[in-house]
Chain A
């Protein structure tokens, strides 16, 4: 199946070590990839370009949320772009998972599909991460209402309707909560799709620290409190 109508949006910040491999592998299935270099100090930008991806560079470091927003803005301006995927650059996400998500979108089962780590066996997920993510879901009325089990999974796929309305204002890691808020605000049809996250030594070292997770948790609590 051709995925020429699908764009992978890959936020990049100092990922020179693995980026080339991640992009090259994804390009075998998805011909359209935009890497958003968020002010990397290493060779990430050059590697992204040499790998055959489109490259957009932030003039200054803004954060992952901002990189996603920039990438989606770029992708939706490209002719023929109908489906969009947010895809991490550290090698955690699997191309096969993305294919399944796009197929579901094509079948019009949802407007946005969020990857979840919590369908089936979860023993490969580090217990601290599991505990934190479960706590965030338990404390979030929005996630409970939408019946989402893994809101902070970076792998998401959505159609043009969502792509047009997609506006993240949180520059940093709080964007995941903001995406969930947008789902409710715009009434997007949302569903989950089981995905496998590869917890390699590299991705564990590069991924969100526990402190970041606590920050997200705190921010989610604040949002909930203010809404009330």
Chain B
């Protein structure tokens, strides 16, 4: 498949991420930058919520259903505005054209850099993410498309429990509206999140904090794609697609929260719009990956404390000290109660106790990695890191930015805890993010982008000041070349050059490691030859039959890639199919195997070579899928190299008497 063929899927993904949201934001009264930059929050929320509602009502998930659902909040906002008039309408006017243009044009380098990384990193638009979690996500997508149920209340273990499904919902819509193959739609949705949605969200937060500053808006786009830990890090590790979607929403939630707290520079939202957007963001992140909800809470902690103390101080100055103290105490009590409540939830407890990823480095090394934006062993980003450090220095100028360095240090501390310490005490703080250094590192760019932007502009202002104190000819001193916008442009261009030539390599290489079609079997779950074999399997196996196979040899992807049902859609067996994982090759002698096969309609089995991630203990969970050629009741029907498809005749004497000739592939 060529990249040109993938364009419809990319357009579809971008459209689903933006258009439903733009309808809502315009109906709410937002215009210009505000309307477009916050649109992904409304889109994600309306799509994920409508999927739940349709699931409950038994309405099949489709593009037209989701499109119709997108009109509902837009119509509701319009009605409320009509009913309440100016009382509900955000009175904030859009920025001047040149300010908006600076923001939009500043996104172009981000778009170019991002798409370049995607094209080079994926190699082809149909390449699979060869990662542990991708197996679940691909098959979950297939389940959504086949069942017509995209509800978050049903996606867990495909139909039985809660799993935040916003990413799967949006990606399934990309499939349904572009007819793209499932891996292509997944890749293009990922691209849309990384290259369109995340820079837009950063632009919103940057505008909220720096105000209508042309230099700030112009360089935010470039800064947003320059960090390795996000978005690229989460497309490499995991793969954490839902988390990538959720984290990309965080800047919007934080920006809305800052408007509520009155901590913006001429914010784009009035309080009403801010509350609506903030609430919607909590819904969207909750249904994309709830840990981003905690990210928003963590990032708003300091601005919230600042706003509370300012309010109490204001009350004291106005002679209402008791009211101030009572209000402060009420907020504190609410915060403590929320903390206790969250910790009492069993789902949160199980996430917080997750200890799969052990500390892997010293505290000193982890601190160094944060300072150089080289988390989890990545290459150091020297120039960008210098801009971030400079930004921390300049952030002390204004109460609007004062919280940024502290929040950045706080996020850094969480990363250091997960990467270098990990005790039961640190788990209290890092547990919301599975105590995972990759997820925690991915939050650093949220504050990092803003600090880098502030650092570049602050440095430009210092350079200008320095130039003005030099004994330069007045003509040179007064030239527009030595102005803050021009110097910011020069520094931004330098950042752009370094980003495109140096930093980009890491992002490309990391994606290439994940999205590979060929390579050593230890790193590749499904090779291109296996994909070819699975296409042949799909032609042989009847539609209603289920194929058993060791998922670690890549056969778990058979369902996602071709639609042929598999017994093991996850890399780990579940309680329902565990016995067959251990005993399937004993079908001829174990009646329980035949009973389970009949119940689950298992009629075929695949045997391949499992070399993927051999150190993972899950690899040893499928002894019943080995040595099928030597087991009685397994009839070879397809073969391609070491890959074999067997029809299981052990439980059906009639089938056993008929032995067709096996077909061989290249």
> Does the CB pair A39–B461 fall under 8 Å?
yes
A59-B397, A66-B266 given; name 9 further pairs at CB < 8 Å.
Answer: A39-B461, A57-B399, A59-B394, A59-B401, A60-B213, A61-B484, A70-B265, A79-B318, A169-B94
* Contacting residues of chain B (454-475) with chain A, CB-CB under 8 angstroms: 454, 457-458, 461, 465
Contact assessment for B395 and A62 in the assembled complex, using a CB-CB cutoff below 8 Å: no
- Asked if A169 meets B95 with Cβ closer than 8 Å, knowing A59-B401, A60-B458, the reply is yes
Ordered nearest first, which 6 A-B pairs have the shortest CB separation?
Answer: A57-B398, A59-B398, A169-B96, A59-B401, A167-B93, A60-B457
Q: Are A167 and B92 interface neighbours, CB within 8 A?
A: yes
Q: A169–B93 contact, CB under 8 A?
A: yes
Chain B residue numbers with a CB within 8 Å of A56 are: 399
A39 to B209, CA, bound (A): 14
* Residue contact B465 to A41, C-beta cutoff 8 Å: yes
Instruction: Scan residues 55-105 of chain B and give those whose CB is less than 8 A from a CB of chain A.
Output: 91-96, 99
Asked if B211 contacts A70 (CB within 8 A), the reply is yes
Say yes or no: B265 contacts A59, CB within 8 Å: yes
Least distance between B543 CB and chain A CB atoms (Å): 61
* B215 adjacent to chain A (CB < 8 Å): yes
Tally of B interface residues using CB under 8 Å:
33
User: Which B residues are CB-close (under 8 A) to A164?
Assistant: 91
A170 B96 Cβ-Cβ under 8 A: yes
Asked if B30 is at the interface (CB within 8 A of a chain A CB), the reply is no
With A170-B96, A171-B99 already in contact, the answer to whether A62 and B211 are too (CB < 8 A) is yes
Q: Is A77 an interface residue (CB 8 A)?
A: yes
B212 interfacial contact with A, CB 8 Å: yes
In the assembled complex, the CB of B488 is this many whole angstroms from the nearest CB of chain A, namely: 9
B34 to chain A, nearest CB (A): 13
Closest A residue to B100 by CB, please name it: A169
Closest CB of chain A to B652's CB: distance in Å?
74
Interface centre among B209, B212, B215, B394 (most CB of A within 10 A): B212
**B262 within 8 Å of A by Cβ?**
yes
Chain B residues with CB under 8 Å of A61's CB are: 213, 461, 484
Q: A129 near B: Cβ within 8 Å?
A: no
A165 within 8 A of B: yes
Say how far A66's CB is from chain B's closest CB, in angstroms. Answer: 6
Q: Known contacts A39-B397, A41-B465, A169-B96: does B212 contact A59 (CB below 8 Å)?
A: no
Q: Would you mind naming 25 contact pairs between A and B with Cβ atoms under 8 Å apart?
A: A39-B397, A56-B399, A57-B397, A59-B211, A59-B397, A59-B401, A59-B454, A60-B211, A60-B213, A60-B216, A60-B458, A60-B484, A61-B213, A62-B211, A62-B213, A66-B211, A70-B211, A70-B265, A70-B266, A79-B314, A167-B93, A169-B99, A170-B96, A171-B212, A171-B214
In this complex, what residue of A is CB-closest to B315?
Answer: A79
* Residues 132-178 of A at the B interface (beta carbon under 8 Å): 164-165, 167, 169-171
Provide the residues of chain B in CB contact with A59, threshold 8 Å.
209-211, 265, 394-395, 397-398, 400-401, 454
For the complex, give the distance between the alpha carbons of A206 and B214 in Å.
Answer: 24
Considering the complex, give the chain B residue whose CB is closest to the CB of A55: B399
CA distance A66 to B397 in the complex (A): 17
Residues of B within 8 A of A165 (CB): 91
Q: CB-CB < 8 A to B395: which residues of A?
A: 59
Question: Which B residues lie within 8 Å of A193 (CB)?
Answer: none
* C-alpha spacing A56/B93, complex, angstroms: 21
Q: A21 in the interface, Cβ–Cβ < 8 Å?
A: no
Q: Which of A76-100 contact B (CB under 8 A)?
A: 77, 79
Q: Which residues of A contact B91 (CB under 8 A)?
A: 164-165, 167
Distance in angstroms from A142 CB to nearest chain B CB is 18
Residue A69 at the B interface, CB < 8 A?
yes
> Which chain B positions have C-beta within 8 A of A62?
211-213, 265
Interface size on A, residues (CB 8 A): 21
Which A residues touch B96, using CB under 8 A?
A: 169-171
- A72 to chain B: closest residue by CB: B266
Contact bitstring A41-72, B, C-beta under 8 A = 1, else 0: 10000000000000011111110001001100
| Nearest Cβ on chain B to A172's Cβ, whole angstroms | 10
Pairwise interchain contact B212-A60, C-beta atoms closer than 8 A: no
CA distance A152 to B484 in the complex (A): 26
A73 and B400 contact, CB distance less than 8 A = no
B209 touches A41 (CB 8 A): no
- Chain A residues within 8 Å of B465, by CB: 41
Looking at the assembled complex, report how far the CB atom of A176 sits from the nearest CB atom of chain B, in whole angstroms. 15
Q: Which residues from chain A contact B400 at a C-beta distance below 8 Å? A: 57-59
| Contact residues in A for B399 (Cβ distance below 8 Å) | 56-57
Interface string of A203-224 (1 = CB under 8 A from B): 0000000000000000000000
The residue of chain B having its C-beta at the shortest distance from the C-beta of A167 within the complex is: B93
Contacts of B95 in A (CB 8 A): 169
Considering the complex, give the chain A residue whose CB is closest to the CB of B264.
A73
- 0/1 interface trace, chain A 184-195, chain B, CB 8 Å (1 if under): 000000000000
Residues of A within 8 A of B92 (CB): 167
B180-200 Cβ-contact flags toward A at 8 Å (1 or 0): 000000000000000000000
Once bound together, how far apart are the Cα atoms of A170 and B266, in whole Å? 12
Residue of A nearest to B209 (CB): A59
Q: How far is the CB of B312 from chain A (nearest CB, A)?
A: 14
Q: Are B398 and A58 in contact (CB under 8 A)?
A: yes
With A73-B266, A170-B96: A58-B461 Cβ-Cβ less than 8 Å: no
Residue ID in chain B nearest A69 by CB atoms = B266
| Residues in A whose Cβ lies below 8 Å from that of B94 | 169
With a 10 A CB-CB cut-off, give which of A56, A60, A61, A69 has the most chain B CB atoms. Answer: A60
Q: Enumerate chain B residues within 8 angstroms of A77, measured Cβ to Cβ.
A: 262
* Residue ID in chain A nearest B318 by CB atoms: A79
Contacts of B318 in A (CB 8 A): 79
B382 to chain A, nearest CB (A): 24
* Chain A, residue nearest B453 (CB): A60
B-chain residues with CB within 8 Å of residue A170 when the two chains form the complex = 96
* CB interface residues, B 204-248, toward A, < 8 Å: 209-216
